[in-house]
Amino acid sequence: MGDSILVINAGSSSIKFKLYGIAGDELAPVFAGQFDGIGSRPRLRVKDKAGRALADQAYPAAEVGSAAAAQTVVADWLKEHLGDARIVAVGHRVVHGGLTYAQPVRVDAAVLATLESFIPLAPLHQLSNLDPIRVLMERRPDLPQVACFDTAFHRGHPERSDRFALPRALYDEGVRRYGFHGLSYEYVSAALHRMAPDLADGRVVICHLGSGASACALRGGRSIETTMGFTALDGLPMGTRSGTLDPGVILHLIEQKGMSAHEVGTMLYRDSGLLGLSGISNDVRELLASTDPRAEMAIDMFCHRVAQAVASLSVSIGGLDALVFTAGIGENAPEIRSRVVAALGWAGLAFDPAANARSATQIDDPRSRAAIYIVPTDEERMIGLHTLRLLQQEGALGAPEPEGHRA
């Protein structure tokens, strides 16, 4: 098969990985795997590009208790199953690039140290993102590794979109709205450009709705404003994260309830969102299937907040030409989409119930004032393409294509 790129998308309890063969300026999928349940019910599953199972192995929880341990298992499996593939680089999703990185970067010891300094800005994600990089640095110090950042797509916002109403000195130090899910937004924007270039170059709001949820306003394919801010806690309520919160609540919890900063952080990241609202589950599928009124309230609030975000973001781009749903909930939950669009009926948005029910690519009613699309995201492919382009720019492979709408 020849030269290949491995992509690793590591989280706190799972690692996704994909192998792509390099075919000129494009990537050809070879296989995709996921190691989930890290620390609880570890399980490695791998499928080839046709969907046939290559591995399905469970492990004792004590044996795989961290992302680093899971990455070691994944590395061992890859070593045995690569065949004639030669990995020339590994691309990683790294949530936070801070003020330092606005483009993908090859990781060395100095870069890794800088990325470690951003862990307090994304404690749920950054540490897990970096664990596989460390493992591979030890096992294959010669192998190029490329960090691709969720924050990078949002760099270049107007200052009014990046600022908090805080003293200027804090903004200059880096206390600002960074935004996240950028790799997903970049991929979806490029995919929409292939489907409907006129729409994609106009005023678009993309709703990335999954366990982590956010929305982004784009104009001309560029991020103008997004709901997540300094951390990935801000904005929409999520599976277990609170979303936007009156900062006075934090002061109350610390000063009046006697909670430590660590306890507050744990609650906001792990015990809030849909889980905290319902007291039942953070899984939208379970909540939609439940007859418990708490589940209905959680779903109702989630959809209400998403619709509010779409309306608010439309102000930032002067209107709305297209609304796009993506990620696990956005792509697979017709009920959520229907409620969000119904809440935006005052703005002239309307969906086709039959198209929505079958999760068609385009689900708007012909009378709708804005087009409504479902566009599956593929962060791993975006990471792979960024890694390929960086190698080409460094002269390690063939010359890169000009930058543009490629994904």
Report CA-CA distances (Å) from 126 to 132, 194, 221, 326. Answer: 11, 32, 27, 23
Residue 132 in tokens: 């596989």
CA nearest neighbour of 70 among 4, 137, 136:
136
Asked if 184 contacts 208 with a C-beta cutoff of 8 angstroms, the reply is yes
Dihedral sign (CA 350, 182, 213, 215): negative
Q: Calculate Rg over the CA atoms of the chain.
A: 21
Asked if 184 contacts 298 with a C-beta cutoff of 8 angstroms, the reply is no
- Rounded Cα distance between 240 and 268, Å, is 8
Question: Which SS3 state, helix, strand or coil, does residue 235 take?
Answer: coil
The number of residues in the chain equals 407
The total of other beta-carbon atoms located within 10 Å of residue 163's CB is 15
Phi, psi of 243 (to 5 degrees): 75, -165
108 catalytically annotated: no
The total of other beta-carbon atoms located within 10 Å of residue 51's CB is 7
Q: Which amino acid is located at 221 in the chain? A: G
Count how many Cα atoms sit within 13 Å of the Cα of residue 24 in the half-sphere of its side chain: 2
- Any residues with CB less than 8 A from the CB of 199 and at least 6 apart, and which? 192, 321, 322, 371
- Rounded Cα distance between 347 and 357, Å, is 22
Phi, psi of 278 (to 5 degrees): -90, -30
Dihedral, CA of residue 377, residue 381, residue 385 and residue 388, to nearest 10: 170
Q: Which of 131, 150, 234, 321 is catalytic?
A: 150
Catalytic residue numbers, as ranges: 150
